[in-house]
Amino acid sequence: MFSMRSLRAALLATAAIGASAAAARADGEVNIYSYRQPELIQPLIDQFTKETGIEANVLFLDKGLVERITAEGANSPADVILTVDIGRLVEAKDGGVTQPLVDETINTRIPAQYRDPAGEWFGLTTRGRVVYASKERVPETAITYEELADPKWKGRLCMRDGQHSYNIGLFASMIAHHGAEYTEKWLTGLKQNLARKPDGNDRSQAKAIMSGECDIALGNTYYVGLMMTNDKDPEEKEWAAATKILFPNAADRGTHVNISGVALAKHAPNKDNAIKLMEFLSSKEAQQIYAEQVFEYPVTPGAEPSEIVKSFGPIKPDTLPLTDIAANRKTASELVDKVGLNDGPSN
Protein backbone atom coordinates (compact mmCIF):
# COMPACT_ATOMS: atom_id res chain seq x y z
CA MET A 1 0.00 0.00 0.00
CA PHE A 2 1.26 3.49 -0.93
CA SER A 3 2.11 5.89 1.87
CA MET A 4 0.80 9.45 1.49
CA ARG A 5 4.33 10.51 0.63
CA SER A 6 4.58 7.85 -2.11
CA LEU A 7 1.18 8.77 -3.53
CA ARG A 8 2.09 12.44 -3.61
CA ALA A 9 5.35 11.60 -5.39
CA ALA A 10 3.50 9.43 -7.92
CA LEU A 11 1.01 12.20 -8.67
CA LEU A 12 3.79 14.73 -9.10
CA ALA A 13 5.62 12.36 -11.45
CA THR A 14 2.45 11.84 -13.50
CA ALA A 15 1.89 15.58 -13.70
CA ALA A 16 5.48 16.10 -14.79
CA ILE A 17 5.12 13.47 -17.52
CA GLY A 18 1.90 15.11 -18.69
CA ALA A 19 3.55 18.53 -18.75
CA SER A 20 6.52 17.13 -20.67
CA ALA A 21 4.20 15.51 -23.21
CA ALA A 22 2.32 18.78 -23.66
CA ALA A 23 5.59 20.65 -24.07
CA ALA A 24 6.74 18.09 -26.62
CA ARG A 25 3.54 18.59 -28.58
CA ALA A 26 3.93 22.35 -28.42
CA ASP A 27 7.58 22.08 -29.50
CA GLY A 28 6.45 20.06 -32.49
CA GLU A 29 4.04 22.52 -34.08
CA VAL A 30 3.61 26.00 -35.46
CA ASN A 31 0.33 27.82 -36.13
CA ILE A 32 -0.08 29.91 -39.27
CA TYR A 33 -2.82 32.49 -39.76
CA SER A 34 -3.02 32.97 -43.51
CA TYR A 35 -4.73 35.22 -46.03
CA ARG A 36 -3.36 32.98 -48.77
CA GLN A 37 -5.44 30.10 -50.06
CA PRO A 38 -4.46 26.79 -48.37
CA GLU A 39 -3.74 25.01 -51.65
CA LEU A 40 -1.19 27.68 -52.59
CA ILE A 41 0.92 27.17 -49.49
CA GLN A 42 0.43 23.43 -48.84
CA PRO A 43 3.50 22.31 -50.84
CA LEU A 44 5.58 24.70 -48.74
CA ILE A 45 4.09 23.42 -45.50
CA ASP A 46 4.66 19.81 -46.52
CA GLN A 47 8.32 20.46 -47.31
CA PHE A 48 8.87 22.33 -44.04
CA THR A 49 7.38 19.46 -42.02
CA LYS A 50 9.41 16.94 -43.99
CA GLU A 51 12.66 18.77 -43.23
CA THR A 52 12.02 19.72 -39.62
CA GLY A 53 9.42 17.32 -38.25
CA ILE A 54 7.45 20.36 -37.07
CA GLU A 55 3.74 20.13 -37.80
CA ALA A 56 2.27 23.28 -39.33
CA ASN A 57 -1.37 24.09 -38.68
CA VAL A 58 -2.97 26.60 -41.06
CA LEU A 59 -6.00 28.75 -40.32
CA PHE A 60 -7.19 30.39 -43.54
CA LEU A 61 -9.05 33.69 -43.24
CA ASP A 62 -10.40 35.77 -46.09
CA LYS A 63 -10.78 38.83 -43.85
CA GLY A 64 -10.54 40.00 -40.26
CA LEU A 65 -7.14 38.49 -39.43
CA VAL A 66 -5.97 41.44 -37.36
CA GLU A 67 -9.30 41.67 -35.56
CA ARG A 68 -9.24 37.98 -34.72
CA ILE A 69 -5.72 38.02 -33.26
CA THR A 70 -6.57 41.18 -31.33
CA ALA A 71 -9.67 39.53 -29.86
CA GLU A 72 -7.68 36.43 -28.89
CA GLY A 73 -5.21 38.61 -27.01
CA ALA A 74 -2.32 37.04 -25.12
CA ASN A 75 -3.90 33.60 -25.55
CA SER A 76 -3.80 33.76 -29.34
CA PRO A 77 -2.41 30.53 -30.84
CA ALA A 78 -1.10 32.45 -33.87
CA ASP A 79 2.64 32.05 -34.39
CA VAL A 80 3.07 33.31 -37.94
CA ILE A 81 1.02 35.64 -40.13
CA LEU A 82 1.17 34.93 -43.86
CA THR A 83 -0.44 37.45 -46.18
CA VAL A 84 -0.29 39.38 -49.43
CA ASP A 85 0.06 43.08 -50.13
CA ILE A 86 2.18 45.66 -48.33
CA GLY A 87 -1.06 47.25 -47.10
CA ARG A 88 -2.06 44.16 -45.14
CA LEU A 89 1.42 43.75 -43.69
CA VAL A 90 1.44 47.35 -42.52
CA GLU A 91 -2.10 46.87 -41.21
CA ALA A 92 -0.91 43.92 -39.10
CA LYS A 93 2.01 45.93 -37.74
CA ASP A 94 -0.07 49.02 -37.03
CA GLY A 95 -2.76 46.81 -35.51
CA GLY A 96 -0.28 45.63 -32.90
CA VAL A 97 -0.48 41.91 -33.74
CA THR A 98 3.15 41.45 -34.83
CA GLN A 99 6.46 41.60 -32.99
CA PRO A 100 9.92 42.61 -34.24
CA LEU A 101 12.38 39.92 -35.23
CA VAL A 102 16.09 40.49 -35.78
CA ASP A 103 17.30 37.37 -37.57
CA GLU A 104 20.59 37.39 -39.42
CA THR A 105 19.62 34.45 -41.63
CA ILE A 106 16.47 36.15 -42.88
CA ASN A 107 18.07 39.58 -43.19
CA THR A 108 20.91 38.12 -45.27
CA ARG A 109 18.51 36.39 -47.65
CA ILE A 110 15.82 39.03 -48.10
CA PRO A 111 16.83 42.39 -49.62
CA ALA A 112 16.28 45.43 -47.41
CA GLN A 113 13.70 46.99 -49.74
CA TYR A 114 11.40 44.03 -49.00
CA ARG A 115 11.79 44.14 -45.21
CA ASP A 116 10.27 46.30 -42.51
CA PRO A 117 13.13 48.37 -40.99
CA ALA A 118 11.91 47.37 -37.53
CA GLY A 119 11.77 43.67 -38.47
CA GLU A 120 8.00 43.34 -38.10
CA TRP A 121 7.41 41.85 -41.57
CA PHE A 122 9.43 40.29 -44.39
CA GLY A 123 8.63 39.95 -48.08
CA LEU A 124 8.69 36.49 -49.66
CA THR A 125 7.62 36.94 -53.27
CA THR A 126 6.84 39.87 -55.56
CA ARG A 127 4.28 40.45 -58.27
CA GLY A 128 4.51 43.22 -60.82
CA ARG A 129 1.67 45.69 -61.38
CA VAL A 130 1.96 45.64 -65.15
CA VAL A 131 0.09 46.56 -68.29
CA TYR A 132 -1.92 43.87 -70.07
CA ALA A 133 -2.02 44.78 -73.76
CA SER A 134 -3.81 43.38 -76.79
CA LYS A 135 -1.47 41.35 -78.97
CA GLU A 136 -3.50 42.36 -82.01
CA ARG A 137 -4.13 46.06 -81.43
CA VAL A 138 -1.14 47.30 -79.43
CA PRO A 139 2.16 47.28 -81.36
CA GLU A 140 4.09 48.89 -78.49
CA THR A 141 6.64 46.69 -76.74
CA ALA A 142 7.48 49.19 -74.01
CA ILE A 143 5.49 51.62 -71.88
CA THR A 144 5.71 53.74 -68.73
CA TYR A 145 3.11 54.34 -66.04
CA GLU A 146 3.34 58.03 -66.87
CA GLU A 147 2.29 57.31 -70.47
CA LEU A 148 -1.00 55.77 -69.34
CA ALA A 149 -2.34 59.32 -68.98
CA ASP A 150 -1.40 60.18 -72.58
CA PRO A 151 -4.52 61.06 -74.65
CA LYS A 152 -3.45 58.51 -77.27
CA TRP A 153 -4.97 55.87 -74.94
CA LYS A 154 -8.31 57.68 -74.66
CA GLY A 155 -11.14 55.16 -74.47
CA ARG A 156 -8.67 52.26 -74.56
CA LEU A 157 -7.85 51.61 -70.88
CA CYS A 158 -9.58 49.20 -68.47
CA MET A 159 -8.98 48.67 -64.76
CA ARG A 160 -10.55 47.34 -61.60
CA ASP A 161 -11.79 49.51 -58.72
CA GLY A 162 -9.39 52.39 -58.18
CA GLN A 163 -9.61 51.85 -54.42
CA HIS A 164 -8.50 48.23 -54.63
CA SER A 165 -5.28 47.66 -52.70
CA TYR A 166 -3.39 46.63 -55.85
CA ASN A 167 -4.15 49.95 -57.54
CA ILE A 168 -3.66 51.99 -54.37
CA GLY A 169 -0.16 50.49 -54.11
CA LEU A 170 0.66 51.63 -57.64
CA PHE A 171 -0.80 55.09 -57.10
CA ALA A 172 1.11 55.41 -53.83
CA SER A 173 4.32 54.61 -55.71
CA MET A 174 3.55 57.40 -58.17
CA ILE A 175 3.20 59.81 -55.23
CA ALA A 176 6.50 58.56 -53.81
CA HIS A 177 8.24 59.25 -57.13
CA HIS A 178 6.46 62.38 -58.34
CA GLY A 179 4.49 63.92 -55.47
CA ALA A 180 0.77 64.28 -54.84
CA GLU A 181 0.17 67.20 -57.22
CA TYR A 182 1.61 65.35 -60.21
CA THR A 183 -0.22 62.15 -59.28
CA GLU A 184 -3.56 63.97 -59.08
CA LYS A 185 -3.12 65.25 -62.64
CA TRP A 186 -1.96 61.80 -63.74
CA LEU A 187 -5.02 60.12 -62.21
CA THR A 188 -7.23 62.65 -64.00
CA GLY A 189 -5.59 61.65 -67.28
CA LEU A 190 -6.08 57.98 -66.40
CA LYS A 191 -9.77 58.63 -65.79
CA GLN A 192 -10.19 60.33 -69.17
CA ASN A 193 -8.56 57.36 -70.92
CA LEU A 194 -10.88 54.77 -69.39
CA ALA A 195 -13.06 52.73 -71.73
CA ARG A 196 -15.61 52.23 -68.93
CA LYS A 197 -16.02 52.60 -65.19
CA PRO A 198 -13.47 50.58 -63.20
CA ASP A 199 -14.98 47.17 -62.62
CA GLY A 200 -14.27 43.46 -62.10
CA ASN A 201 -10.95 41.90 -61.10
CA ASP A 202 -7.62 41.61 -62.89
CA ARG A 203 -8.77 38.60 -64.91
CA SER A 204 -11.80 40.59 -66.08
CA GLN A 205 -9.47 43.11 -67.65
CA ALA A 206 -7.84 40.41 -69.78
CA LYS A 207 -11.30 39.24 -70.83
CA ALA A 208 -12.20 42.82 -71.80
CA ILE A 209 -9.06 43.05 -73.92
CA MET A 210 -9.93 39.83 -75.76
CA SER A 211 -13.49 41.05 -76.41
CA GLY A 212 -12.23 44.38 -77.78
CA GLU A 213 -13.74 46.47 -74.99
CA CYS A 214 -10.30 47.96 -74.31
CA ASP A 215 -6.75 47.65 -75.60
CA ILE A 216 -4.70 47.96 -72.40
CA ALA A 217 -5.36 47.33 -68.71
CA LEU A 218 -3.65 47.30 -65.33
CA GLY A 219 -3.12 43.87 -63.81
CA ASN A 220 -0.81 41.76 -61.68
CA THR A 221 1.63 39.40 -63.36
CA TYR A 222 0.57 36.30 -61.44
CA TYR A 223 -2.99 36.39 -62.77
CA VAL A 224 -1.63 35.68 -66.23
CA GLY A 225 -0.03 32.48 -64.90
CA LEU A 226 -3.27 31.50 -63.20
CA MET A 227 -5.22 32.05 -66.41
CA MET A 228 -2.69 30.21 -68.56
CA THR A 229 -2.95 27.10 -66.39
CA ASN A 230 -6.66 27.12 -65.58
CA ASP A 231 -7.82 23.75 -66.87
CA LYS A 232 -11.17 24.17 -65.12
CA ASP A 233 -12.05 27.21 -67.21
CA PRO A 234 -10.52 27.04 -70.71
CA GLU A 235 -11.93 30.49 -71.52
CA GLU A 236 -9.37 32.03 -69.17
CA LYS A 237 -6.61 30.48 -71.26
CA GLU A 238 -8.05 32.35 -74.25
CA TRP A 239 -8.03 35.63 -72.30
CA ALA A 240 -4.38 35.12 -71.43
CA ALA A 241 -3.51 34.17 -75.01
CA ALA A 242 -5.02 37.42 -76.29
CA THR A 243 -2.80 39.57 -74.08
CA LYS A 244 0.87 40.36 -73.73
CA ILE A 245 2.60 41.78 -70.68
CA LEU A 246 4.34 45.14 -70.83
CA PHE A 247 6.61 45.90 -67.87
CA PRO A 248 6.27 49.65 -67.28
CA ASN A 249 9.38 51.77 -66.79
CA ALA A 250 11.71 48.89 -67.61
CA ALA A 251 14.12 51.37 -69.18
CA ASP A 252 14.32 53.65 -66.14
CA ARG A 253 13.24 53.22 -62.49
CA GLY A 254 11.61 49.81 -62.92
CA THR A 255 8.17 48.25 -62.53
CA HIS A 256 6.12 48.70 -59.37
CA VAL A 257 5.96 45.47 -57.39
CA ASN A 258 3.96 44.39 -54.38
CA ILE A 259 4.70 41.45 -52.12
CA SER A 260 3.46 38.46 -50.28
CA GLY A 261 5.00 38.43 -46.83
CA VAL A 262 5.33 36.93 -43.40
CA ALA A 263 5.37 38.29 -39.85
CA LEU A 264 5.95 36.89 -36.38
CA ALA A 265 2.74 37.07 -34.35
CA LYS A 266 2.86 39.18 -31.20
CA HIS A 267 2.09 36.40 -28.71
CA ALA A 268 3.55 33.45 -30.68
CA PRO A 269 3.33 30.48 -28.27
CA ASN A 270 5.73 28.48 -30.45
CA LYS A 271 8.16 31.29 -31.18
CA ASP A 272 11.22 29.13 -31.84
CA ASN A 273 9.32 27.05 -34.39
CA ALA A 274 7.85 30.19 -35.90
CA ILE A 275 11.34 31.55 -36.48
CA LYS A 276 12.40 28.22 -38.00
CA LEU A 277 9.46 28.45 -40.40
CA MET A 278 10.28 32.05 -41.31
CA GLU A 279 13.90 31.14 -41.94
CA PHE A 280 12.76 28.24 -44.10
CA LEU A 281 10.45 30.53 -46.09
CA SER A 282 13.40 32.82 -46.83
CA SER A 283 15.51 29.95 -48.17
CA LYS A 284 16.19 29.55 -51.88
CA GLU A 285 14.48 26.15 -51.89
CA ALA A 286 11.27 27.41 -50.27
CA GLN A 287 11.25 30.56 -52.38
CA GLN A 288 11.23 28.52 -55.57
CA ILE A 289 8.47 26.19 -54.32
CA TYR A 290 6.33 29.13 -53.25
CA ALA A 291 6.97 31.24 -56.33
CA GLU A 292 6.09 28.34 -58.63
CA GLN A 293 2.81 27.74 -56.81
CA VAL A 294 1.67 31.37 -56.96
CA PHE A 295 3.32 32.46 -60.26
CA GLU A 296 5.31 35.18 -58.50
CA TYR A 297 8.95 36.22 -58.33
CA PRO A 298 11.18 35.05 -55.44
CA VAL A 299 12.85 37.87 -53.50
CA THR A 300 15.86 35.83 -52.41
CA PRO A 301 18.77 36.44 -54.81
CA GLY A 302 19.54 33.34 -56.87
CA ALA A 303 16.08 31.80 -56.52
CA GLU A 304 14.50 31.30 -59.93
CA PRO A 305 10.89 31.96 -60.94
CA SER A 306 8.91 29.23 -62.69
CA GLU A 307 9.19 28.66 -66.44
CA ILE A 308 5.72 30.16 -66.92
CA VAL A 309 6.73 33.34 -65.10
CA LYS A 310 9.95 33.50 -67.10
CA SER A 311 7.81 33.40 -70.24
CA PHE A 312 6.33 36.79 -69.29
CA GLY A 313 9.73 38.34 -69.90
CA PRO A 314 12.32 39.83 -67.52
CA ILE A 315 11.19 42.16 -64.77
CA LYS A 316 13.20 45.05 -63.38
CA PRO A 317 11.59 45.87 -60.02
CA ASP A 318 11.38 49.42 -58.76
CA THR A 319 13.97 49.63 -55.97
CA LEU A 320 12.00 52.15 -53.91
CA PRO A 321 11.50 50.65 -50.42
CA LEU A 322 7.95 49.42 -49.95
CA THR A 323 7.73 51.28 -46.66
CA ASP A 324 8.14 54.55 -48.59
CA ILE A 325 5.30 53.51 -50.88
CA ALA A 326 3.06 52.35 -48.03
CA ALA A 327 3.42 55.74 -46.36
CA ASN A 328 1.52 57.27 -49.31
CA ARG A 329 -1.41 54.85 -49.44
CA LYS A 330 -3.81 57.12 -47.54
CA THR A 331 -3.06 60.06 -49.83
CA ALA A 332 -3.46 57.81 -52.87
CA SER A 333 -6.90 56.71 -51.69
CA GLU A 334 -7.94 60.31 -51.11
CA LEU A 335 -6.81 61.30 -54.61
CA VAL A 336 -8.81 58.46 -56.20
CA ASP A 337 -11.94 59.93 -54.63
CA LYS A 338 -10.92 63.53 -55.36
CA VAL A 339 -10.61 62.97 -59.11
CA GLY A 340 -13.63 60.64 -59.25
CA LEU A 341 -11.65 57.82 -60.83
CA ASN A 342 -14.30 55.22 -60.07
CA ASP A 343 -16.94 57.32 -61.83
CA GLY A 344 -15.30 56.48 -65.13
CA PRO A 345 -14.59 58.84 -68.04
CA SER A 346 -16.46 62.13 -68.10
CA ASN A 347 -17.49 61.74 -71.72
Q: Is 125 helix (H, G, I), strand (E, B) or coil?
A: strand
The beta strand positions in 202-293, using DSSP E, are 216-220, 243-246, 257-264
Q: What does the alpha-carbon distance between residue 99 and residue 221 come to, in Å, rounded to a whole number?
A: 31
Burial of residue 81 (number of CB atoms within 10 Å: 0-12, 13-18, 19+): buried
Let me know the angle formed at the C-alpha of 253 by 249 and 254, rounded to the nearest 5 degrees.
55
Number of H helices and number of E strands within the chain? 15, 9
Cα 71 versus chain centre, distance: 24
Residue-by-residue DSSP string for 42-82:
HHHHHHHHHHH--EEEEEE-SS-HHHHHHHHGGG----EEE
Q: Identify the DSSP state of 159.
A: -
> Is 223 part of any known ligand binding site?
yes
CA-wise closest residue to 278 among 113, 107, 118, 72? 107
CA-wise closest residue to 347 among 151, 165, 206? 151
> Is 297 part of any known ligand binding site?
no
Amino acid sitting at position 53: G
Let me know the angle formed at the C-alpha of 106 by 225 and 253, rounded to the nearest 5 degrees.
55
Phi first, then psi: give them for residue 304, nearest 5 degrees. -100, 140
Binding residues for Fe cation: 222-223
Residues within the annotated binding site? 222-223
